Structure 1
Amino acid sequence: MLDHKIEQVIIDSLLLTKDGVGIFDADDRLVFCNEALEMLLGIPAEKALNQTFSALCFRSFTTKTGINIEADCFDTWISAALTKRRSCDYRTFETDTVEGKHFIVTEQIVQQHFLYLYITDITEKKQNEQKLTLMSQELQKLATTDYLTGIYNRRYFYETAKVEFSRSQREATKLSVLMLDLDKFKGINDSYGHNAGDLVLQTFACTVGDY
């Protein structure tokens, strides 16, 4: 058994930690909640205490604050959530809030009846992941499209053609390739300059792109 001082240190640590901590009793009522958990619940800790998990979720659903519940029917959503809740002694998952915060949530059953909830804010990590994804998409676009016209370039054509030729051979289907040429294009460059030629290419690419 822990002496009183150690117990108080543990309680103070749970209250002061930047990670959210909550404890639900056997009736699924919140009996302990630190201030950090407010970020997920969207409600002050003192108001969240003694409310059931379902009631807290329903509040988020109706007020559009706290837990992000993307569902048209709350009853259907909460039924699915309760099926997973307490289904095992330990589980971890990701969730987010209406305000745009992201969390890793850990649930653990302790002493058979109590559910210990621990959340860690991973918003910055998610934002960095999104930035990396956008950068990757932009690099992919730069590598496979022509800067002037915005249409796919030779590299993309060769990569796609290789895939399509292989598929055609594998499935024994016909494959067609269409080649287009601009008549007297050199004359446009010579007579009106390369800027005019660029405009012709852009207009042509835009027209072809519509089809």
Structure 2
Amino acid sequence: MQQSWIGGGMRFSYCTEHDLPDISRMLSKESVCRWLFFEPNTDEATRSYFLPLIGEMWAALAEGRMPDHHVFTARLEDAGDFVGQCALLPVDFNPGSFLIGYQLDDIYWKRGYGTLACTFLVYFAFIVLEGYRLNGDTVAGNTASRRVMERCGFVLEGTQRRYWHAGGGYHDRLIFGLLKSDLALERLSRLGETFTAEHSVAV
């Protein structure tokens, strides 16, 4: 099974336990967690969330089957520096529908990496997994995340008022969606050309 893909100068790989120190460091920052529903994470909280997902993914890969969850680490292709992480999580009772998520370390903001990470998720969901729908959400005040999804073709589908409590206040939740059928065949073809699967490594 494939474990790593490259495109746009970045490498997206299935997350491993070795990636957790970098993820934990990122999620301990107030700047990164500003618009998230949780406060800056402790190392213990980060590990307790990611370890079961990592275990499920790598057990599936070792058996030659597709994991249920897809959590990726994003690193610079050449230097290997940690940029962030992104994920596709299944939507219950809706095969082929996924919830997207992405967080970038603050030193890599405003460089187009968020859009690239979201584009990779679109590619993976629609080309690799042959899914039909992607779901995304963000706090109304998080204009950067909203722009990322809009650049990738997501459509605003609704608002849940005062949904999130973060930073001592209540915030509206913006709900976005993207259907595979929304994308022209030419764009789907370009997605397939943007990301290249690296050779498989035994797990």
Tell me which protein shows more strand as a share of its residues: 2
> Which of these two proteins has the greater Rg computed from alpha carbons?
1
* TM bracket (short chain): under 0.3
TM (norm. structure 1) is 0.25
Tell me which protein shows more helix as a share of its residues: 1
TM (norm. structure 2) is 0.25
